[in-house]
Amino acid sequence: MEKEKPRLARLTAILTQLQSKRMVTAKEIAKKHNVSVRTVYRDIRTLEKSGIPIVIEEGKGYTLMDGYRIPPVMFTQDAANALITAEQLIRKNKDQSLTEQYESAVTKIKSVLKYTQKEKTELLTDRIQVRNNLENKKTSNYLIQLQSAISNYQILKMDYRSLEDKQSQREIEPFALYTTQDNWVLIAFCKLRTDFRAFRLDCIQKIEIQENHFEPHQMTLQEYLEKCKEKYRNTPDTPLTQDQSTFAVNHKI
């Protein structure tokens, strides 16, 4: 938890926090800035009095009025350094779409850095090297497309080749994504199996987004993972890179 900031700095940080999410609760704000919920209430009133259009939804939290935007934020040198480090890490990621979209985003972010910060970040870029995935292999190109399908509840048709080299076509309702041992995995409700399944992105041959949508599944990612943990409690947790076939069988891909 961060140390308490001076009030002006905290008010500015709260504004940034409100713009970063659709809805933010008082508890989330209080935890991030190491203050009481009562202090958050006072800060929100202060922001409202200064003309910031904050919408309060009872029982849910705070959001900024649709269309309201705060001018670009000034980055500290430490924050800029963190972005450069993340850029080097993501360049080694095995999904091509992620690396391309992140590089596009970070280029825009760099444009608002101070001149002196740009010099320092350029130096740091040359002084950081990520040693995993040295050959910079790209094994998938679907991550960003799948993220969009998850957030828009879009049904997908997918050509899939399992680790056991079995070809199938699935119609799925994408639910969540996670990464382990440098491999991205999609969790989705498979209509063929009428149950949730895990699909490795590097095994996906083709994806087609359908026009129809599905109803959101009333389950969190953590709840899904807990169910899997319970289901496979007696199954050895073998890393993907050591025994990929075991992983495929365990997850019934």
Same fold, 7-64 and 143-250: no
> For position 245, what pLDDT does the model report?
38
Length of the chain: 253
Query: Does domain 143-250 sit in CATH 2.60.40.3950?
Result: no
Is pLDDT of 113 > 70?
Answer: yes
Model pLDDT, residue 69 = 72
Give the confidence band of 71 by pLDDT, cuts at 50, 70, 90: low
Model confidence at 108: pLDDT above 70: yes
- Tokens 């009481």 belong to 36
Confidence label for 83 from pLDDT (cuts 50, 70 and 90):
very high
Phi, psi of 19 (to 5 degrees): -80, -20
Question: Looking at domain 7-64, which of 1.10.10.10, 3.40.20.10, 3.40.50.10470, 3.30.530.20 is its CATH number?
Answer: 1.10.10.10
Confidence class for position 253, pLDDT limits 50, 70, 90: very low
Mean pLDDT (whole number) for 136-156: 96
pLDDT tens track for 213-244: 999 999 999 999 998 888 777 555 444 433 33
Domain ranges of the chain: 7-64, 77-127, 143-250
Instruction: Look up residue 186 and give its two tokens.
Output: 């999609």
> In sequence order, what are the beta bridge partners of 180?
183
CA distances from 222 to 119, 176, 219 (A): 42, 10, 8
At 189, the amino acid letter reads F
Partners of residue 157 on adjacent β-strands:
171, 208
Grade residue 72 by pLDDT with cuts at 50, 70 and 90. Answer: low
Q: Residue range 108-114: average pLDDT?
A: 81
Q: Concatenate the DSSP letters of all residues of 53-113 into one string.
A: -EEEETTTEEEEPTT--PPPPPPPHHHHHHHHHHHHHHHT-SBHHHHHHHHHHHHHHHTTS
First to last CA, the chain: 40
Q: CA 229 to CA 226: how far, in whole Å?
A: 5
By the 8 A CB rule, do 65 and 57 touch?
Answer: no
Structure token digits, residue 75: 């980055």
Cα–Cα distance measured from residue 204 to residue 161, given in angstroms and rounded to the nearest whole number: 6
Q: 153 and 160 in contact (C-beta within 8 Å)? A: no
Q: What is the pLDDT of residue 220?
A: 93
pTM score of the predicted model = 0.70
pLDDT value of position 115:
81
CB atoms within 10 A of CB 9: 11
Please tell me the predicted confidence (pLDDT) of residue 154: 97
Indicate the pLDDT class of residue 5, thresholds 50, 70 and 90. Answer: low
Query: 93 φ, ψ to 5°?
Result: -65, 150
- The tokens for 166 are 């079995």
| 106 vs 156 pLDDT, higher one | 156
Residue 243: predicted pLDDT: 35
Ranges 55-59, 158-162, 175-179, 227-231: which has the least confidence: 227-231
Torsions phi, psi of 162, nearest 5? -70, 170
How many whole angstroms separate alpha carbon 47 and alpha carbon 149? Answer: 36
